Amino acid sequence: MDKPIRKAAKCYLVQDNKVVVTQYKKGNKKQGFYDIPGGKMEENETSEQAAIREMKEETGILVRNLKQKGKMTIEYPDRIFIFTVFLAKEYKGEPQEFAENTAEWMEIDSLLKQEKILSNSMILDRFFRKGLLDENFGFTMHILVDEQENILGMNFNLEGKNE
């Protein structure tokens, strides 16, 4: 069976050892979980445009000069999501509160200790220092999960960049 593939983007906005996160509010099936801003690409939208739009919609912050850092594939039993992951250090605005989520700056070390949904848990735990923050590295990741997002298999690679 061919699984439908959905393309998406995530954007990590990092400054002074802090990262912008969202936290889902009551009524959402992911209530209480922290997430990194991002979402599905719309028709005729590039992954970078999606990352900028999703950051603005979910946090109120406009990011610019994004750097693509890697690809993350999450494969469910009946569908596949392919995320292009970006890093931003330049921005305008401050985190805001919305109907579905709140946005805030959080210390990276504190976030690493929080309960996270699957995709962020893997990137933060495996790649945060080298794969995201180090200019010389990027990453690829493939995660196989069940419908409850329990990990069934995973493979990941750090990729050094030749200058």
Task: Classify residue 139 by burial, with Cβ atoms within 10 Å: 0-12, 13-18, 19+.
Answer: buried
Thinking of the domain 5-160, which architecture would CATH place it in?
Answer: Alpha-Beta Complex (3.90)
pLDDT at 163: 45
- E runs forming strands in the chain: 5-15, 18-24, 34-35, 38-40, 62-64, 67-75, 80-88, 90-92, 101-107, 137-145, 151-160
pLDDT at 160: 79
What are the residue ranges in the chain where pLDDT is below 50? 163
pLDDT at 122: 59
pLDDT at 52: 98
Whose structure tokens read 């990352």?
Answer: 51
Task: Classify residue 69 by burial, with Cβ atoms within 10 Å: 0-12, 13-18, 19+.
Answer: buried
| Domain ranges within the chain, ordered by starting residue | 5-160
Task: Classify residue 101 by burial, with Cβ atoms within 10 Å: 0-12, 13-18, 19+.
Answer: buried
pTM to 2 decimals?
0.87
CA distance 29 to 8: 20
